Amino acid sequence: MITMDDIIREGHPTLRKRAKELTFPLSDDDKKLAAQLMEFLENSQDEEIAAKYKLRAGVGLAAPQVDKSIRMTAVLVPDSDGNPVFKHVLVNPKIISESVQKAALAEGEGCLSVDREIPGYVPRSNRIKLRWFDLDGNEHVERLKGYTSIVVQHEIDHLNGILFFDHIGDNPFDVPEGTLIIE
């Protein structure tokens, strides 16, 4: 199972690389990694398991964060009852359109690969149209908005060597006009 020891941290060069596209059929190793990424998110959102293995809670984990520079990320966004709102391993994800309107989390963002608090709003597109492939190579297209859209954009950033604080301006709480602040 993936633990925090497997997650590389800020300063590791892999976090700043553009990850490579995957080709289908996926290798057994790629499929195993996909399962492990999602297993980490499930474990990290389970209070007992997270405490036992000292896991930081996560709603997304991208392959580059475990030093695999490939375009694959797991996303597990739960609702307030803990039921999955968006649960997918995204292969070769691509934002095919996005709203002009921005959104940012009121509490800012964190990152499993960044061991420090960096205050500030991270302006992202409030709505995106996302295309991705599942592990069998089937294409999916979905429109996402709000929190789920932000999580997916945070993860796709990891595939492009971008970290959340790259989006925080000189005035950390300045955002473009009309930005939706999500509590």
Distance (Å, whole) CA 147 – CA 158: 17
- Name the strand (E) or helix (H) holding 71: none
# residues contacting Ni ion (CB under 5 A): 1
Out of 151, 156, 168, 175, the residue judged to bind ligand K2U by CB under 6 A? 151
Question: Rule CB under 6 A: which of 91-130 touch ligand K2U?
Answer: 105, 109-113
Active-site position among 47, 155, 177, 183: 155
151 belongs to the binding site for Ni ion (CB under 5 A): no
59 belongs to the binding site for ligand K2U (CB under 6 A): yes
Neighbours of 77 (CB within 10 A): 19
111 belongs to the binding site for Ni ion (CB under 5 A): yes
Is 177 noted as a catalytic residue in this protein? no
Residue 120 site contact among ligand K2U, Ni ion, none (CB < 5 to 8 Å, cut-off depends on kind): none
Binding residues for ligand K2U, rule: CB under 6 A, are 57-60, 62, 105, 109-113, 150-151, 154-155, 158
Binding residues for Ni ion, rule: CB under 5 A, are 111
